[in-house]
Structure 1
Amino acid sequence: MKPTRTLWLTFATIAATAALVTSSAVSASADPPAEQPRHSFAEYQGIPISIYEYGPSADEAPTLVTTGGWPGDSTIFETAARKLATKYHVVRYDQRGEGLSGHNTTDELNSLENLADEFGAVIDKTAPGKHVHVFTEGWGSFLTSEYQFRHPGRIASLSAIGAPSLDLAHYALVESGRDPAEFVKNMPNIVWYGALSTPALPELMAASGFDEAFFGAGVASAGDPPVTMSKEDMVASVSRYRASLPTRLGYAPAYSFLEVPIMQVFQSPDDSPAMITGLAGHTNNLWLTEIEGSHTNFAAKSWPLVSAELDKAIAATEHR
């Protein structure tokens, strides 16, 4: 074969390959973008609460509500919300002091009772008159358990990553603390919660950027995707620890038994078993599932299992 012909065929092959790649890129870019959530606001105590809704309406499918804990806003559940929206009406909202929600908070406004009633305002707006299912972690679990205690009947299933209730965790820590070895294991948690419950110190730590750097480093070291955090959010919402943790987890829990059709706990390696010790004796129907990953990467590490268990809980309670 002559060199000129060989050179021509080479150029032709490159051109054809480039055309194929360009065609694929154009085709991919022409695909419809992922459906954007419907954004709105509820209001409680004059504080605007930012809400995102996915999938069908509350009249067309069961409603599943999710929210974040601390630190970080509810975007920790963004991936899960989009996946679940193929089957459910999904409501993701940012609690006061997070995301686009109002940041004008105080210890009193950040109380567990107010966080629970804020949840009530969200479901009254997004699923009026209907029961809902919950999938949360951390403070999202604590406030929805509080809502169920104060307004039984509206939550059909409560699924939590880690401990579902501060009040019930009190009894778990008491029970596990009877073992000196377990008490020693719990000391880091006790010290951490104690520091977050002190006057002014949590806000100073958050405002300095220490909390953001500390949690960011922890998430990165675990190989988890970044969590949406900001100094403003962390300062505005950290007083929820001081507002409720010393009483509810410490010396004056409001209840020792929580009745809910299904309480589902996903226990991750991040969680201390001492926070749920004896939990089956403090609720009527406990489902416990061990998962891989952490609160920030469960969707990547254990999604098939988590999704299947959520489906079971919703199916078991939807037509009760």
Structure 2
Amino acid sequence: MSAPVTGCLRVPGASLHHEVRGRGPLLLLIPGGAGDAASYDGVADALAAEYTVAAYDPRGMSRSPLDDPGAGQRVADHADDARRLLDLLSPGEPARVFGASSGAITALHLLTAHPDRVARVVAHEPPVVEVLPDAAAHRALVARVQETLRARGPMPAMTEFAAGLRKDGDPAPSQAAVTLPPQAAARAGRTMANLPYFLGRIVPAFMSYAPDLHRLRDLADRLVLACGEDAHGEPPHRAAAFLADRVGTAPAPFPGGHVGLTTHPEEFAATLAGHLADPAARD
């Protein structure tokens, strides 16, 4: 794996650690969950054969500290961070953007707020549960997670959150099922340190986000809504598929489940590359 060039971008209220490798048109990778730029290590080199690949730690995560550690979070601010990175790394040229999970929500808002900066967005299972008919049940989950975080701490709260994102009736994963590949295990310490911030401020802000459906419908030719092939029935998959239907596109199947990026990196990178290509090149 080639070593990325690292940098730090000052933005209002934070400093953003970012990593760049490859050459060609810019592809910005937005992490989701409690992850950071390293969550893309398994796919970045493959994509860097065709693109200048940039990944970063979202504000408040890992190496991107907030000026005010207690500051509340808004999707719009995270999307503006992404826009500022595009301005830095691809000035004047619309870029391709991929986001996973909560990072996919950032990517959706980036597309609607700054369409001039975006050539194509691939949003993998954005948990925009506010679009679902059972949105109230997901609001109740977020409230339970917040209460568990306050009363018992981040690990029980994460267990509560993960259970709420499984398909009804699915058992909790066995220890063997969640064994991490070596690259993922190496970054596990930072991910664990990010959990209180993720659960306490990212989860409530992002899972209450309602996308602008009319705006997304107008921009649907630039949008791919990706769904994990093994995630049918899970809330993020349901939300992405429902959103695709509402904006008039077909959901795109991707390898694995909600974390297919980690569990199936080679297949995931190849699938993503296909959806990033210009339509004429795919025909």
CA distance in 2, matches of 1:137, 1:97: 17
Note if contact 1:291-1:302 (Cα within 8 Å) is conserved in structure 2: no
Paired residue for 2:56?
93
Of 43, 48, 56 in structure 1, the residue corresponding to residue 15 of structure 2 is: 48
Q: CA 1:287/1:281 → structure 2, altered by over 3 Å: closer, same or farther? A: closer
Of 231, 234, 246 in structure 2, the residue corresponding to residue 282 of structure 1 is: 246
2:165 is aligned with 1:205: no
CA distance in 1, matches of 2:4, 2:106: 24
Task: Describe the superposition over 1:292-318 as per-residue Cα deviations: whole angstroms up to 9, x where unpaired.
Answer: 323434365373465245334332289
Note if contact 1:157-1:317 (Cα within 8 Å) is conserved in structure 2: no
Of 170, 188, 198 in structure 1, the residue corresponding to residue 130 of structure 2 is: 170
Structure 1-normalised TM-score? 0.68
Structure of higher CA gyration radius: 1
Q: CA 1:100/1:204 → structure 2, altered by over 3 Å: closer, same or farther? A: farther
Paired residue for 1:5?
none
* CA RMSD between the two structures: 3.2
Query: Secondary structure, in 3 states, of the residue corresponding to 1:100?
Result: coil
Paired residue for 1:255?
212
Identity %: 16
CA distance in 2, matches of 1:201, 1:223: 24
What amino acid is aligned across from residue 202 of structure 2 in structure 1?
Answer: R
What amino acid is aligned across from residue 222 of structure 2 in structure 1?
Answer: I
Long gaps (5+) in structure 1: 1-33, 178-182
CA distance in 2, matches of 1:40, 1:302: 25
| Divergent runs of 4+, >6 A | 212-215
Q: CA 1:220/1:123 → structure 2, altered by over 3 Å: closer, same or farther? A: farther
Long gaps (5+) in structure 2: 163-171
Paired residue for 1:221?
177
Query: Secondary structure, in 3 states, of the residue corresponding to 2:83?
Result: helix
Query: Secondary structure, in 3 states, of the residue corresponding to 1:276?
Result: helix
Number of residue pairs the alignment of both structures matches: 256
2:196 is aligned with 1:235: yes
Of 26, 41, 53 in structure 2, the residue corresponding to residue 63 of structure 1 is: 26
CA distance in 1, matches of 2:30, 2:106: 10
Q: Where does 1:263-302 land on structure 2 (aligned, <5 Å)?
A: 263-268=223-228, 269-270=230-231, 271-272=234-235, 273-283=237-247, 286-298=249-261, 301=264
CA distance in 2, matches of 1:315, 1:36: 28
Of 59, 64, 75 in structure 2, the residue corresponding to residue 112 of structure 1 is: 75
Note if contact 2:95-2:119 (Cα within 8 Å) is conserved in structure 1: yes
Note if contact 2:18-2:37 (Cα within 8 Å) is conserved in structure 1: no
Note if contact 1:116-1:147 (Cα within 8 Å) is conserved in structure 2: yes
Report the CA distance between 1:45 and its aligned residue: 1.1
What amino acid is aligned across from residue 141 of structure 2 in structure 1?
Answer: W
Note if contact 1:116-1:146 (Cα within 8 Å) is conserved in structure 2: yes
CA distance in 2, matches of 1:83, 1:135: 14
Report the CA distance between 1:149 and its aligned residue: 1.3
Of 120, 124, 141 in structure 2, the residue corresponding to residue 192 of structure 1 is: 141
CA distance in 2, matches of 1:45, 1:283: 32
Paired residue for 1:75?
38
CA distance in 2, matches of 1:199, 1:148: 33
CA distance in 2, matches of 1:145, 1:99: 23
Query: Secondary structure, in 3 states, of the residue corresponding to 1:221?
Result: helix
CA distance in 2, matches of 1:122, 1:274: 30
